[in-house]
Amino acid sequence: MPRITSKKPIAIPQGIRNNFGLLPGREVDVIAEENNILIVKKRREIRFMNLLGCGKRRSKVEIDPRVYEIR
């Protein structure tokens, strides 16, 4: 049975960690809901998704010459 230690960490049983892919170093969120505490895997941000829409919109006419130049 997991217990909270004097240093306040909680040990999550190995079987549960394996079932949910909780590897060492993985960040989790602790959420309080009414009389329950939920521990959920923190979603990893995809850097590419954060960059979408940040660049200057260009037309195909502008892009093609640049591609040929790079090649």
Examine residue 2 and state whether it is found in any structural domain, yes or no.
no
| Residue 24 domain flag | yes
State pTM to two decimals: 0.47
Greater confidence, 8 or 32? 32
Gap between the Cα atoms of 37 and 52, Å rounded: 35
Q: In this predicted model, what pLDDT tens digit does every residue of 16-69 receive, in sequence order?
A: 889 988 888 888 888 899 999 888 887 766 666 666 666 666 666 666 777 777
> What confidence score (pLDDT) does residue 52 get?
62
Could you list the residue range(s) of the whole structural domain that residue 60 is in?
14-70
Q: How confident is the model at residue 1 (pLDDT cuts 50, 70, 90)?
A: low
9 in a structural domain: no
- Between these two residues, 46 and 70, which has the higher pLDDT value? 70
Beta bridge partners of 29: 40
Are the C-beta atoms of 48 and 55 separated by less than 8 Å? Answer: no
User: What total number of domains does the chain contain?
Assistant: 1
Q: Domain for residue 34, yes or no?
A: yes
